[in-house]
Amino acid sequence: MRKKILLTIIRIFSVVLAVVLLLVLCLNISTLWAVGRIKQGRHVTSGYFCAIISSGSMEPTVSVNDLLLVRGEESYQPGDVITYISPRGNMVTHRVFELTEDGYITQGDANNVPDGTISKQRVLGRVVYIAPGVGAITEGLSTPMGIAFIVCICLLIWLINRVRRRLYEDET
């Protein structure tokens, strides 16, 4: 009975971990694809992407190290919080302040002055979800220590599968 419960817990943990890692991988690939497309002057109108906040220009709505889920759409309205690629190639998240024929005028909630006009082709999408503080984890995983952590997680998954197989073999 204990073995069955342990086997079930291990199976659930392995599946959840694999799904989370796959989802993160897919989001990162789609974000890299979209940013590359925008830098080439192409327009992105659909899909889900992620961004990490690195400045306090959107305080208190969005804080430093928040992870954003961004959805590409055809158009945006004043009040929408959007993420776009700046002429320097950086991701910027600000609120749409005004619509113009040439694009959008945006402004950070904590800024006193609006930004210049952002062309519609540079917009990645509208922020649809904010995960507070999760960006710090993502940033941490890109360090050498973070990469070692990812390797350890992969080894843990491998080890869990080995234990699961042993328990299953002992059961039969």
pLDDT digits (tens, 9 = 90+) for 29-83: 777 777 777 777 666 767 788 888 888 999 999 999 898 989 988 889 999 999 9
Q: Is 82 left (phi over 0), alpha (psi -120 to 50) or beta?
A: beta
Task: Tell me the longest C-alpha to C-alpha distance in the chain.
Answer: 70
Q: What residue numbers bound the domain in which 166 lies?
A: 2-171
How many domains does one find in the chain? 1
Measured CA distances, 5 to 9, 96, 168, 169 (Å): 6, 52, 12, 15
What residues are paired with 67 via a beta bridge? 52, 131
> Is 124 within 8 Å of 35 (Cβ atoms)?
yes
Does the pLDDT at position 161 exceed 80? no
* Domain CATH number, residue 10: 2.10.109.10
pLDDT higher for 112 or 143?
112
Average pLDDT over residues 16-34: 76
pLDDT higher for 28 or 77?
77
Q: Confidence band (pLDDT; 50, 70, 90) for 170?
A: low
What's the pLDDT at 172? 58
What residues are paired with 124 via a beta bridge? none
Strand ranges of the sheet holding 81-85, from the earlier edge strand across to the other edge: 48-52, 67-71, 123-131, 81-85, 91-99, 103-107, 117-119
Mean pLDDT of the chain: 83
Is the dihedral angle over the CA atoms 138, 40, 127, 118 positive or is it negative? positive
> Is 83 within 8 Å of 51 (Cβ atoms)?
yes
What's the pLDDT at 83? 93
CA separation for the pair 147, 51 (Å, rounded): 20
